[in-house]
Amino acid sequence: MGLEVRGSMDGSEPSSVLEVMRQQWASMVSMGGMFVGTILLGLSIQPIYNVDEVRAFGAEGASKGGYVALELLFIMIFTVLIIWLARRGLDFAIKAIVMLALGMSLFYIVMPYVWLLFNILGISSSDLILGSSIAICISLMAMLVKYPEWYVVNTVGVLVGAGVITLIGVSFVPVLIIAFMLAAAVYDHWAVNSSKHMLELADTMIKNKLPVLLVAPKERGYSFIEEDEQVMRSETPEGMDWDDPAPHIKPKSGGRDALFMGLGDVIFPGMLVISSVSFLPEWGPEIGTIFGTMYAGPLAVGLGTLFGGLCGYVALMTQVARGEAQAGLPLLNGGSILGYLISGAIAVGPAALWQDISFL
């Protein structure tokens, strides 16, 4: 998924990328906070779902590369389907497909915290916990349909992202997650910079106000509801001097500019964080959490992976500051993988970072 910044903060023509970043620091920090917060939220529920029964393809499937190839194929099919529907004006079908998937993903992050709340209150009814979780998910979906402002979209997006991160992260060993991330990064670069169909997909989601992206406003008056339908593809003017694009960054009237990041740009680094904690050797002291226990060694690698992803995010912002839509996964995934390798070599040893895998 691409990222894009539109407009400077004060209407002046910035003299350098650093100046642009200084002007847009609030939205960039906000987006970075959502990036970290989504992954940490997914990490918090990892102990609950780190069991063989929950893994998407079972215990044996966690080390089979064929299932990762299948996941990547599903992503491509979904992208083609959504673009095909959008070009035919079938927005209702797009909303139905995406909202169904979102509602199911929401349940996995909402239910543990509903259980925690009821446990604190001394309520142990499983039916009540289940019913309340479903009711909250339906309410969030209804709010999204009725009033899809940026803070509603972000709330649902962060929750959905945390759920997806955890479910995929506990389903594959780190080696396969890294292979998945590398393949996705190559695809993302091609889809954003060559075919540009990823930008068309992003515009479709913005048009339909669907939370498969995160939005960081740059001004208080920003309204996602009033956002243009062609945000990502509107910033490539004819004749722009790409060697010095920053002077062309100017705000539109109305102050409706924002930074956008696809949810996939958070999910892929987060998957490696969860996978590290789930599958690396149980080394070091046990650390108690609200939903279970983790081991210090794998947790250190997971946090190191997150730090690497955050470094990739900072590097990405230097490119986003130029006002161009960017493929986020090459830098985000690259930073996360580097963070995994470095922290893993220190915390659990290089030998522990490799897992035996097969295709089928």
13: which residues sit within 8 A by CB, 6+ positions away? 246, 247, 249, 250
pTM of the model: 0.85
Helices (H), the chain: 17-23, 25-44, 46-49, 58-61, 65-87, 91-120, 126-146, 150-169, 174-193, 197-207, 264-279, 296-320, 329-347
> How many angstroms separate the CA atoms of 117 and 98, rounded?
29
pLDDT at position 219 is 80
Percent with pLDDT over 70 in the chain: 86
- Enclosing domain of residue 302: 2-230+257-353
Cβ–Cβ < 8 Å for 165, 271: yes
Let me know: does 251 contact 21? Beta carbons within 8 Å.
no
The per-residue pLDDT for 243 is 42
What local confidence, expressed as pLDDT, does residue 233 receive?
54
Given this model, what pLDDT does residue 146 score? Answer: 87
Residue 26's pLDDT is 83
Beta bridge partners of 258: 217
Does residue 239 lie within any of the structural domains?
no
Predicted confidence at residue 40, as pLDDT, reads 97
| Contacts for 278-283: CB closer than 8 Å, 24+ residues apart | 278/46, 278/50, 278/169, 278/170, 279/62, 279/173, 279/174, 279/355, 280/174, 280/344, 280/348, 280/352, 280/353, 281/348, 281/352, 283/347, 283/348, 283/352
With beta carbons less than 8 A apart as the criterion, state whether 327 and 12 touch.
Answer: no
In a domain, 248, yes or no: no
Residue 212 lies in a domain: yes
Tell me the sheet residues that pair with 260. 4, 215
DSSP state of 15: S
Counting every residue written for the chain, the total comes to 360
Does residue 38 fall inside a structural domain? yes
The answer to whether position 246 is within a domain reads no
- Chain centroid to Cα 92, Å, comes to 24
The list of the chain residues with pLDDT below 50 reads: 2, 4-14, 235-256
**pLDDT for the residue 261:** 87
Query: Which amino acid, 209?
Result: K
Looking at residue 200, its pLDDT comes to: 80
How much is the pLDDT for 19? 76
Residue 238 domain-assigned? Answer: no
Residue 250 lies in a domain: no
Q: Which two tokens stand for residue 263?
A: 């949810």
Task: Give the chain's domain count.
Answer: 1
The answer to the question of residue 236 being in a domain is: no
Read off the pLDDT of residues 180-211 as tens digits, 9 standing for 90 and up. Answer: 999 999 988 888 778 777 778 877 887 777 77
Q: How much is the pLDDT for 241?
A: 44
User: Which of 248, 217, 262, 309 is closest to 29 using CA atoms?
Assistant: 217
Tell me the per-residue pLDDT of 101-154, one tens digit each, with 9 for 90 and over.
Answer: 888 899 999 999 999 999 999 988 899 999 999 999 999 999 988 888 888 999
Burial class (CB in 10 A: 0-12, 13-18, 19+), 11: exposed
CA distance 148 to 162: 20
